[in-house]
């Protein structure tokens, strides 16, 4: 399964002294794409948390190709690598307005029980959405 965000414009506050988008923002862009996709699928992250489904990021990997700058437009594509079990593995690619790959990466999210803080299986409600 794959999803691509609408165009996003780099805000001035996301840049650093070198006038590049600060590296920490790329994980925020990944999260934005992930949450936007879940919303499109009809999944509310806050409702999941209320039902006791926690999904922390347990691993992140980023590969920077070329920087984004203030005012650039970009889109984030996110791909679910395989059906979830106790983890979700997502691949990402950020493409700018010139169709250049800016950054690619992967995040792994685990399903955790709020009571035990131990891994648990993917809830059926999510499995249905990703099948």
Contact (CB, 8 A) for 46 and 79: no
Residues with Cβ within 8 Å of 67's Cβ and at least 6 positions away in sequence, in order, are 18, 20, 21, 102
Examine the residue annotation and report whether 72 is marked as an active-site residue of this protein.
no
CB 79 within 8 A of CB 34: no
The active-site residue out of 16, 63, 72, 91 is 16
Kindly tell me the burial class for residue 121, based on how many C-beta atoms sit within 10 Å of its own C-beta (0-12, 13-18, 19 or more): exposed
DSSP 53: -
How many angstroms separate the first and last alpha carbons of the chain?
9
- Give catalytic residues, as residue numbers: 16
């Amino acid at each position: 399964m794959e999803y691509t965000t609408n165009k996003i414009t780099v805000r001035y506050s996301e840049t650093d002294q070198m006038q590049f988008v600060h590296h920490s923002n790329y994980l925020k862009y990944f999260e934005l794409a992930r949450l936007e996709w879940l919303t499109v699928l009809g999944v509310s992250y806050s409702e999941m948390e209320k039902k006791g489904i926690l999904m922390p990021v347990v691993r992140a990997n980023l590969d920077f190709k070329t920087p984004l700058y203030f005012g650039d437009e970009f889109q984030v594509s996110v791909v679910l690598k395989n059906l979830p079990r106790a983890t979700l593995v997502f691949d990402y690619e950020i493409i700018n307005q010139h169709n250049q790959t800016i950054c690619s990466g992967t995040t792994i999210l685990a399903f955790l029980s709020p009571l035990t803080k131990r891994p648990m299986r993917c809830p059926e409600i999510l499995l249905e959405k990703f099948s």
